[in-house]
Amino acid sequence: MFEDLPFSVPVDQMACNLSGEFRLQQDVEKLRISNWDIVRTKRPSAFDGALLRMTSHHLNDGNLVVSASRTSFSAYVVTRSPEFQVKYGDAERADPIGLTAIVRTVDDQIIVTVRSLTADQNPGALYLIGGYAEPCESDGPVDLFDEAKREVEEEIAVFDIDRSASCGVGLAYDPTFCHPELFLLMPSKSTAAIIVAGAGNAPDRNEASQLLACPTGNFIDENGPFGSLPKTWSFIKARQFLQQHLL
């Protein structure tokens, strides 16, 4: 776990290099295998996909530099509990890199989603757009902007994110579903109305039960229109990072 790291870094100044594969401690690996068997029994469609694990990060002269290795979804599932280190001491977590996309429309609104009631994490809570970064087949550079863009395209069918205007706004560690999360501000060239109307065509539209649009000023206002509605950690953290970015 690490302290929140707010910044404003253009995406072309974010570098991520992939090298090698993460291995769980032996007793944790045994637990991963048995735990994944249980998951597959309950959900036969569960997929143990490859994920990108953060091994280190630092800011250097306005550049974000991330080092990463390969891990798996099943390794994450078995290490994501806050109580994991109480039981396993200094055993390392899978720590996949989560991505939260703050999609800002051309008419200055933020696209907000409400998690599906069947979601594995935070069902029914306010969310944005996001997922986990995936590794390339071979070692080398990974474009974290492209990974976040893929999530935006899959979840809300927005294909006009402006790379030149996109930037990372912060990095934080999720204390509930333990993993690092990178937050990106991703401007779209479309209006909120066009995005909301066209999102039904997204391949993963069922990730969210609702799609909303909120003026940026209201979004960053903690006393704004969302009031006491349940919020994911990433929603709250995204709002904080965006507030700092816009100062």
* 3 state DSSP class of 135: coil
Give the residue among 155, 157, 147 at the shortest CA–CA distance from 181: 147
CA distance 130 to 149: 9
pLDDT at 185: 98
CA distance 129 to 114: 10
Tens-binned pLDDT, residue by residue, of the chain (247 aa): 899 999 999 999 999 999 999 999 999 999 999 999 998 998 888 899 999 999 999 999 999 999 999 999 999 999 999 999 999 999 999 999 999 999 999 999 999 999 876 666 777 899 999 999 999 989 999 999 999 999 999 999 999 999 999 999 999 999 999 999 999 999 999 999 999 999 988 888 777 788 999 999 999 998 888 888 899 999 999 999 999 999 8
Q: Is the whole model's pTM more than 0.75, yes or no?
A: yes
**CA 210 centroid distance within chain:** 18
Classify domain 5-246 by CATH number. 3.90.79.10
